Amino acid sequence: QVQLVESGGGLVQAGDSLRLSCAASGRTFSSDTIGWFRQAPGLEREFVGAIKWSGDNIYYAEPVKGRFTISRDNAKNTVYLQMNSLKPDDTAVYYCAAQRAISGWRNIGSSHEYEYWGQGTQVTVSS
């Protein structure tokens, strides 16, 4: 059974940092892409960034470029989202998701293109 478990959310002040973790289990993720998304109340789920489980390809959405960093620890089967200089607009439930590799192109920025999802972790940034 595939499981993605996020942790590390919390309540912080503007300018603070948080590191989210996404622990993956239940399948071989070596060819997958792991994405981070967030969803604020009343808004659609938004792409934050993604990392290929193998290789050096990492992608970020414009609102978080320069502030957020995605990394992985293959030995621990865990992907991280380091969030610095947090803003109140970053307040949301953050999800990690896994996208299977297939032949052909896949849209890593679309939540519909991910097969497996974690339960989410709340991040609240106060002003």
- Which stretch, 31-35, 51-55, 91-95, has highest mean pLDDT? 91-95
Give the pLDDT confidence score for residue 53 in this predicted structure.
84
Query: What would the mean pLDDT of 100-122 be, rounded to a whole number?
Result: 91
**Cα–Cα distance list, 40 to 32, 51, 81, 123, 124 (Å):** 26, 22, 17, 10, 10
pLDDT at 104 over 80: no
Each residue of 51-68: pLDDT tens digit? Answer: 998 878 999 999 999 999
**Cα–Cα distance list, 35 to 1, 4, 100 (Å):** 19, 11, 11
Q: Looking at per-residue confidence, does 31 or 125 come out higher?
A: 125
**What is the chain's length?**
127
pLDDT at 103 over 80: no
Taken in order 28, 122, 111, 88, the sign of the CA dihedral is negative
Query: What would the mean pLDDT of 88-109 be, rounded to a whole number?
Result: 92
pLDDT at 113 over 90: yes
Taking all residues of the chain, what is their mean pLDDT, rounded to a whole number?
94
